[in-house]
Chain A
């Protein structure tokens, strides 16, 4: 099984900050890596697929990079609506990372 490990598990930041979340796969997954945002009480929302492609309607302040085993999600200038939990997921066998909760400082 492919294990996905995110860091950090939680993060405190302020509006306007640049934020980075990392995700590591236990084996190479090429670019088969997705990122999701989940707000409290809501279903997850796809932000990025194929490691770096923004899904339709996702603001350009979100970006993704990486390949193989190491990936990053970056929010260039944090907005109030971005405080949420973020998950990575590999698309070979679909396992998710444990999540990163982004909270207001």
Chain B
């Protein structure tokens, strides 16, 4: 079955760190660019970060630049997001997504929830 599965979400203190993982299955992972998208409770979608198939081309939203680091492990079909200096406004459901034709996100995981709170 073709799927993405996120993990790593939990409650974390402001200023803390967290590492999210997304495991891909059912397709050739290193054929695709991958992205993280988040959704705060009751709010819309916000793109967070993207990485191309090789890891050589990376982008971040201004809201996370300098605090979050995206990476990938093609040998283990995994997408990672290292999140440092977490803030209350980072509280959200974090989705990983696959980039398909014309860079539309054609596959999504079910998301992992991060709550930043004291």
Residues of B at the A interface (CB closer than 8 Å) are 35, 37, 44-47, 50, 59, 62, 95, 100-106, 108-111
Partner of A34, one of B95, B102, B111: B102
Give Cα A96 to B50, complex, Å.
14
Q: Which of A76-93 contact B (CB under 8 A)?
A: 85, 87, 89, 91, 93
Q: Is A32 a contact of B44 with CB atoms below 8 Å?
A: no
Tally of A-B Cβ pairs under 8 angstroms:
68
Q: How far is the CA of A89 from the CA of B102 in the complex (A)?
A: 12
Could you mark each residue 40-52 of chain A with 1 if its beta carbon is under 8 Å from any beta carbon of chain B, else 0? 0001111011100
A54-75 near B? 1/0 per residue, CB < 8 Å: 0100000000000000000000
B44 near A55 with CB under 8 A, answer no
Most chain A CB within a 10 A radius of its CB, from B95, B101, B102: B102
Can you identify 18 A-B contacts, CB atoms within 8 angstroms? A31-B102, A34-B104, A34-B105, A36-B105, A43-B109, A44-B45, A44-B108, A49-B102, A49-B104, A53-B101, A53-B102, A55-B104, A85-B44, A87-B44, A89-B47, A93-B47, A93-B59, A95-B47
Contacts of B46 in A (CB 8 A): 96
B102 to chain A: closest CB distance in Å?
A: 4
Chain A residues proximal to chain B, CB less than 8 Å: 1, 31-32, 34, 36, 38, 43-46, 48-50, 53, 55, 85, 87, 89, 91, 93-99
Task: Name the CB-closest residue of A to B101.
Answer: A49
Please, how many angstroms separate the alpha-carbon atoms of A40 and B96 in the complex? Answer: 18
Instruction: Determine the chain B residues whose CB is within 8 A of the CB of A89 once the complex forms.
Output: 45, 47, 104-105
